Structure 1
Amino acid sequence: MVAESIFSVVSIDVLACRYDRDSRTVMVAAYDRDTEPFVGVPALPGVVVRSGERIFEAAARAIGKIGAQLPADRGQLRTFDEPSRDPRGPSLSIAVWAILGPTDPAEAAIWRPVDAPGHLAFDHARIVADCRPLLADHLWRDAAFTRALTRPEFTGTDAVAIAEQLTGGPVHRANLNRELARIPGLADAGTGVGLGPRPPKLWRWEQG
């Protein structure tokens, strides 16, 4: 009789995000699984950590499943340890964020709104939902995260859209502009192009 393993497999699941300026939507990448369990079901890109492998080394393999490379702008979020999260046996998942630019290749990615990712394999929909507030905590406070998501230049309208999708609540534009004005390295760049009598304020990250 084979003794039941008391050890959990450790995996890395990546929330690869980008901001789609055309639709003003923060998107998260999934891909169609090609192995059981959940073959054919969209999932976050993830892998089991190999012996001796570090978190971001595994994350680089994981994000390769959507045809992307792990960017410099990435970080660790939290660990998910629900015993039944994987039908194959006990498994821990370390969630990692990574921000992809609009031109970064990710040919196998299925892009979905971060606030409405739809059905995903395993507990990946819960991972996205539970990590959204953590991403919101990074916004405006973590310059590397924020700059990667907004890109070098963005409008107040973009800032409101990003903040509302990550926080899940309404954002007061004037208060947000005051918060943006306090961020080191972010400068008021006048006004952007927009409809209506009041064009949105334009923000630009300083070089360096």
Structure 2
Amino acid sequence: MWRDETGRSLADYPHPSVAVDVALLTVVDGTLHVALHRREGHATGELALPGTFVRIDERLADAALRALRDHLEVTGRSPEQLRVFDDPHRDDRGRVLAIAHVDLVDRGVLPTGTETAAVDTCPTLAFDHGAMVAAAAEHVRARHRGSPDPAGLLGAEFTLAELQGLHEAVAGGPLPKDTFRRHVLGDLEPTGGLRTGVVGKPARLFRRAGEPGQPPV
């Protein structure tokens, strides 16, 4: 066992517990929402993000997946590390470092009955999960300011109106039509198809430029 110059091992020093929490965002009725659950055990009944303590032999990514599976019954995702929340007083059980994760998913990924809340009017959550939700929302919004539908929620092809509707839902408000289209068109390719079966003139279909497996237009 390793010991330092004073003869102490790592176990002899005070050390924090490590937890992961996942802000799983989705769009519900044209608004950016976060998936929540009701806690059991400590802080029973409080709304919270799905989270868990990291096991001694576990990677952070695996702990995040376990939290999604155990609390929301969601599998098959790859949440991205967001940031560390390290306020010494963030958890009344003791010193806990929390590594927040974020993912943006289609509403259909969430099981029926999953409780969600709009990120901009989120109710009071356990611990500092409200701050995590705010940070996750800004992260997702920044990604959408940089590229069209970066999470691929619209599928392989979409109309410009559908794309703008998604970006407005994520942004939390309307976006000027002409400005939005000028901003995104450089990152899109027309598919040559039309969206039919809708009211009005059929709309042109687009895809994200450089999508793997897509032939050039």
TM-score (norm 2): 0.74
After the TM superposition, which of the residue ranges 166-175 and 43-52 deviates more from structure 2? Answer: 166-175
Relative to 1, partners in 2 of residues 1:28 and 1:153: Cα closer, same or farther, differing over 3 Å? farther
**What is the root-mean-square deviation in Å for CA atoms of aligned residues?**
3.2
My pick for the range that moved more, 54-63 or 100-109, is 100-109
Structure-1 residue corresponding to 2:81: 76
**Residue from 14, 30, 35 that aligns with 2:41:** 35
Q: Which amino acid aligns with 2:40?
A: D
Alpha-carbon distance in 2 for matches of 1:49, 1:182: 43
1:126 corresponds to which residue? 131
Q: Indicate if the aligned counterparts of 2:190 and 2:205 stay in contact, CA closer than 8 A.
A: no
Match of 1:152 among 153, 156, 164: 156
- 1:59 and 2:83 correspond: no
Moved >6 Å (runs of 4+): 191-195, 197-201
- Matching residue within 17, 21, 33 for 1:9: 17
> 2: distance between equivalents of 1:70 and 1:18?
15
Count of residue pairs brought into register by the alignment: 199
Q: Is the 8 A contact 1:14 1:59 kept in 2?
A: yes
CA distance in 2, matches of 1:156, 1:47: 40
Contact 1:115 1:166 in 2 (8 A): no
- In the alignment, is the contact (CA less than 8 A) between 1:19 and 1:150 conserved in 2? no
Query: TM-score w.r.t. structure 1 length?
Result: 0.77
Give the secondary-structure state (helix, strand or coil) at the position aligned to 2:123. Answer: coil
Superposed displacement of residue 154, structure 1: 4.3
Within the candidate set 175, 182, 205, 1:178 is matched to 182
Gaps of 5+ in 1: none
Taking the aligned partners of 1:90 and 1:12, their CA distance within structure 2 comes to 14
Counterparts of 1:187 and 1:62 in 2: how far apart (Å)?
39
Larger Rg: 2
Q: Distance in 1 between matches of 2:147 and 2:108?
A: 22
2:31–2:169 contact (8 Å) kept in structure 1: yes
Q: Within 1, Cα distance between the matches of 2:212 and 2:179?
A: 25
